[in-house]
Amino acid sequence: QVDRALEKTTGGLGIGLSLVKGLVEMHGGTIEARSEGEGLGSEFIVRLPEELSAVQKVEPPAVDAPVGSFSRRGILVADDNADSVESLRQLLELLGNHVRTANDGLQAVDVAETFQPDVILLDIAMPKLNGYEACRRIRELPWGKNAILVAMTGWGQDEDQRRSQEAGFDLHLVKPVDPGALEKLLSSLKAETS
């Protein structure tokens, strides 16, 4: 297990590769990673089925779809790691969601108050206001009681999950967030709200 002190100093949490793996597998492909050892670089090979290599016209989701429907679910992603925010934003938009982002806890509360998303993904270790306190503040807002709040953290012990639940989170995801698990989560939320 990696020392928690290293989490914020390594410059990333590996979510980019996790996102690529999930997207490649969703399209029936495979990804292979090779390395000669630490500090010697890495090689990644992505293989996609031939029929997907042809250009296909993809219709964008309807702009007038109601908020709360799966095709236009409003989602806020808050994390101080820019790569993590961007990767999740791209994945969630690819799945047809309307996404806004924030880079610290205070900004997350402000964006949530005006955007009023259906789902909020909050990193726990953010500057200005940690994810626990941001969750508590969002829950105090009239609409915040019905939002789905998801803690995102590198910490996944029982105590960490208990603390997330006590702060008001509905779910606790351990980073790097698995794209397939996130898609499954959103699909289950759609089924619950249909």
The residues of the chain scoring below 50 in pLDDT are 1-10, 13, 52-70
CATH number at 76 reads: 3.40.50.2300
Return the pLDDT at 70: 42
**Domains contained in the chain, number:** 1
Q: Confirm if 97 and 140 have CB atoms less than 8 A apart.
A: no
Return the pLDDT at 187: 80
Return the pLDDT at 103: 96
Domain range for 104 is 4-57+68-193
Return the pLDDT at 48: 76
Q: Confirm if 32 and 45 have CB atoms less than 8 A apart.
A: yes
Q: Looking at the domain assignment, is residue 33 inside a domain?
A: yes
Q: Looking at the domain assignment, is residue 161 inside a domain?
A: yes
Over residues 3-35, the pLDDT tens digits come to 444 344 445 545 567 677 777 777 677 888 888
Residue with tokens 């290293």: 6
Q: Looking at the domain assignment, is residue 62 inside a domain?
A: no
Q: Looking at the domain assignment, is residue 149 inside a domain?
A: yes
Q: Looking at the domain assignment, is residue 81 inside a domain?
A: yes
Q: Looking at the domain assignment, is residue 19 inside a domain?
A: yes
148/169 Cα distance (integer angstroms):
8
Q: Looking at the domain assignment, is residue 63 inside a domain?
A: no
Return the pLDDT at 16: 67
- Can you give the pTM of this predicted structure? 0.66
Q: Looking at the domain assignment, is residue 163 inside a domain?
A: yes
